[in-house]
Structure 1
């Protein structure tokens, strides 16, 4: 036994001692030096944190190339997030100097080459977020190590401007907006130009993102600005067609911000805002996060992309031809809007209280406001048709979540999948529904997967922090990393280096099939026609009502 222990120690030592590593890497701006560490027997990880992909941005201007640096830049720590509100919206955190990215490169006994590249875009309502994600005891949500190691892909995360500095628009040439999208474009462009030096294949870049990041992924594949740079894309709970993804009256909110920071709302507004204190501008961009059934929170998300005639040259639904050769996965969580519904109608989370039917009716009317009162009545009737005379209180609460999930996420995602398929040339299209129940113990027993619940599995948290999860959670994580990384490798989530539990058919197959993702995966998880009646209602019946002015 003693000799066996010595042998194992020797093998581990040799594996570590002979570990493949990139060392210092030459980028267009200069040399960068990250960290290398062993992550298993003959498996290693090169990590680079804080590589500048653009110069510190000038306020309300597009990003420009970084001027470069002398010597070797140590890239071993995350850089600050872009300037944004703190979680309580009482102060700001971050910096205007924030355009940096992070790279995880898996290695074997030899240095990797020609690896698929997965570039992640974070969510946060276009208001919050950073390339490292939420942090608890130095355990960052968007740490790419597990995904890179298990999927044998390069993972990249980056910062982009958010809030007023990233998405405010005066609706004209003064401050056109979409600066956060331009930052994303700059990061993608940098990766395309430089990733070969890190062992990546610049012709095999997959974008993936969640929520506002998922909508951003969709914007990045339908804009003409990224032609030839993106091979594949994954949108998790968000597309460009979501009602919160485009700001329809940006001037009004820009004037509110200008007034708060003491700027005029005449022709001098843009110049004044560019000179104003960035902290004050960021604080002035605070959104109204209180809501009620007749004023749901989704209508308060003012800071988002705009149709600027440049990055987004037209209505998003007209631009899907630009993604005709980009393979696309899009899906949602089965109770994606639960987090928002509980703000609008708090009683849905309280098992001891009943949610008044009147509040559900008010919510249906409010969500239908752009089409008038008749549309509101029709929406309420559509969602209560199976209630019967005396619906139980759980049914009423679930209806609230279903209504908001369909409106905010599911129906727009299905519409985007149809548009992608209709415009596809060489591109493939895949649809999913994530149904692994939330792990938050105070949620109701009927609860499914809440907004952002899938992120912990995509980034391998059940493996990185095993004491916090059960074996079934590791199964979910293994499945998602396998599908996602296979897709990045081949354009087909079923084909690649990772074994998958069941074949995921293309969306365009007869029946518009999708994959139900949870911890018990078998052939029964392949389903079709996801909530077809409600998708038809919103996209055809509801859309037939004439638009009204608010």
Structure 2
């Protein structure tokens, strides 16, 4: 396992998950819910909260049915003790700092965690956080947001969803339709609509947020007809629905290629391919980290389903939906960090040589070319834009960071932001987060500091910061930054605006179609009126107008084609 996976996947400090003291009777809170009575306990780390863990929001199909959509949640008559059993979904091996002792991988993993303020008030705002991890690893409680709830007027929900092959294998067959990881998320949102009032939350006041792949997920949820009406505001943090890693370009080809890596060769027989995936042990299916691909994907991610698929999550490409404007327009708090590409910094010493040998291998997956010569021509153009006539090396490592910032995160999000506004959404609040201080490491071979991937999420979550999670230090500057960011997020959750009328914070109007104005969130935050990353955006706009590769659904089998006729 390479170190960069821990950065990409938003490493949380390892903690003991088996050393809590048993609660006393007065620590319990019992609630009547549509599923049955549920007992949570006062949180030992935050006495302003009651924590309800491990609540099954759906039932996971298992065995050879493991690629099917989620089944209804169970119900019960006797009180359900909602204690943390540390359940996570099947996934590739995680770094040790993401795998504290006691986490339990299991098939039936679709559980929600609900954090309820200790208050008599009802109809509280609801925040649902989708975890990151490249769609291949992670779990609902990977990040902690208990301090954010100190205002006692927000109910927080975190949850697991199926990952990697089991969540996002997409064959287009009845047993492997695709997108079950996203259908899990829709099931969670439906569970919230049905159950959250019992926990003090208002089902008509739901904000969904996510970081990294979770950010791309909530951005996709906004476009899905299956999720329409289940939430009311959206906070994508460093990840967008137009990113190459967000949608498989050719899911059947990806399934074939991965099966070959696992030494299965009869990949052109769709029935045999399906049987292989349905019967292969999970240890084999999750044996690849899926993190070192040159094309800025993590292999398995959401897909475009066939239009005939029952209960499909997405049957049209995000770009097509955005261009048509055929989705519900909601308030969106949309942004990224100034050095997102640091997520790839741990590959630099190896990749700089490979990029000089064949830069075309590092083009993003969402480009297509008529010939190898055309591909090489475009690769040369892109390499020259970022690195001039010099080889990729130590003296231009910041350009390496910019390149991976752009192909993974910034350009897709700016493109979507522009399309949102062009389609009539006048509630898109755009930002770039760039806060750094003396605890932030410098970029190798430089004296420059920048905000790493999902640094803004670390400002919202508990703890000090991404770099010093285990150190008991006082960082006044970062504490002030956390207070500001939390206030902006709180305002947006409560009002749909990061800076509502009457706020003491600097005014923050919605963005126009030119990606401005936007808020620069830094040591000295300020509203900026020039288009965000204008030169880099216009360069890629030209590239994508000529070479964009639309994702395609898996083709129908011959039997499906006869049935549809």
- Judge same fold: TM > 0.5, yes or no: yes
Does residue 1:538 correspond to 2:540, yes or no?
yes
- Cα distance change, pair 290–317 in 1 and its aligned pair in 2 (3 A): closer
**Cα distance between partner residues in 1 of 2:476 and 2:151:** 17
Match of 1:282 in 2: 286
In the alignment of these two chains, the number of paired residues is 496
Does residue 1:224 correspond to 2:225, yes or no?
yes
CA RMSD of aligned residues (A): 3.4
**Cα distance between partner residues in 1 of 2:537 and 2:255:** 34
User: Secondary structure at 1:346's aligned position in 2?
Assistant: helix
Contact 1:117 1:204 in 2 (8 A): yes
Match of 2:296 in 1: 298
> Aligned to 1:370, which of 358, 368, 371?
368
Match of 1:248 in 2: 249
**Cα distance between partner residues in 1 of 2:264 and 2:544:** 42
Give the C-alpha shift of residue 395 in structure 1: 5.5
Contact 1:106 1:152 in 2 (8 A): yes
Match of 1:5 in 2: none
Give the C-alpha shift of residue 226 in structure 1: 1.2
1:249-274 superposed Cα distances (whole Å, 9 cap, x missing partner): 22233234545376853223324422
Contact 1:116 1:205 in 2 (8 A): yes
Does residue 1:125 correspond to 2:125, yes or no?
no
Does residue 1:467 correspond to 2:472, yes or no?
yes
**Cα distance between partner residues in 2 of 1:107 and 1:146:** 13
1:1-60 superposed Cα distances (whole Å, 9 cap, x missing partner): xxxxxxxxxxxxxxxxxx9x99212222211111125989xx821211111101133301
Give the C-alpha shift of residue 222 in structure 1: 0.4
Match of 1:11 in 2: none
Contact 1:38 1:44 in 2 (8 A): no
Structure 2 stretches of 5 or more lacking a match?
Answer: 1-25, 307-311, 370-374, 552-565
Matches for 1:174-185 after TM superposition, within 5 Å: 174-185=175-186
Does residue 1:513 correspond to 2:517, yes or no?
yes
Using the size of structure 2 for normalisation, the TM-score is 0.79
Contact 2:48 2:152 in 1 (8 A): no
1:198-251 superposed Cα distances (whole Å, 9 cap, x missing partner): 111111111100111111001111000012111010111111100111111222
Deviates more, 1:147-156 or 1:114-123: 147-156
User: Secondary structure at 2:454's aligned position in 1?
Assistant: coil
Match of 1:381 in 2: 384
Match of 2:343 in 1: 339
> Aligned to 2:530, which of 521, 524, 528?
528
Contact 1:324 1:424 in 2 (8 A): no
User: Secondary structure at 2:245's aligned position in 1?
Assistant: coil
Match of 1:236 in 2: 237
Match of 1:105 in 2: 116
Give the C-alpha shift of residue 176 in structure 1: 2.0
Contact 1:53 1:186 in 2 (8 A): yes
User: Secondary structure at 1:467's aligned position in 2?
Assistant: coil
Match of 1:400 in 2: 400
- Cα distance change, pair 377–263 in 1 and its aligned pair in 2 (3 A): closer
**Cα distance between partner residues in 2 of 1:456 and 1:496:** 27
> Aligned to 1:32, which of 34, 38, 43?
38
Structure 1 stretches of 5 or more lacking a match?
Answer: 1-18, 134-141, 349-354
**Cα distance between partner residues in 2 of 1:360 and 1:342:** 17
Matches for 1:127-526 after TM superposition, within 5 Å: 127-133=136-142, 142-150=143-151, 152-258=153-259, 260=262, 264-265=266-267, 266=269, 267-283=271-287, 286-287=288-289, 289-290=291-292, 296=294, 298-299=296-297, 301-309=298-306, 310-320=312-322, 321-343=325-347, 345-346=348-349, 359=355, 362-363=358-359, 366-367=362-363, 370-371=368-369, 372-384=375-387, 396-424=396-424, 428-437=427-436, 439=439, 441=441, 443-444=443-444, 445-462=447-464, 467-495=472-500, 501-508=505-512, 512-521=516-525, 524-526=526-528
**Cα distance between partner residues in 1 of 2:514 and 2:264:** 58
Match of 1:84 in 2: 91
Give the C-alpha shift of residue 448 in structure 1: 0.3
1:164-193 superposed Cα distances (whole Å, 9 cap, x missing partner): 111112244451211110111111111111
- Cα distance change, pair 80–263 in 1 and its aligned pair in 2 (3 A): farther
- Cα distance change, pair 337–66 in 1 and its aligned pair in 2 (3 A): same
**Cα distance between partner residues in 1 of 2:520 and 2:37:** 45
- Cα distance change, pair 149–547 in 1 and its aligned pair in 2 (3 A): closer
**Cα distance between partner residues in 2 of 1:548 and 1:33:** 48
User: Secondary structure at 2:246's aligned position in 1?
Assistant: coil
> Aligned to 2:82, which of 69, 75, 89?
75
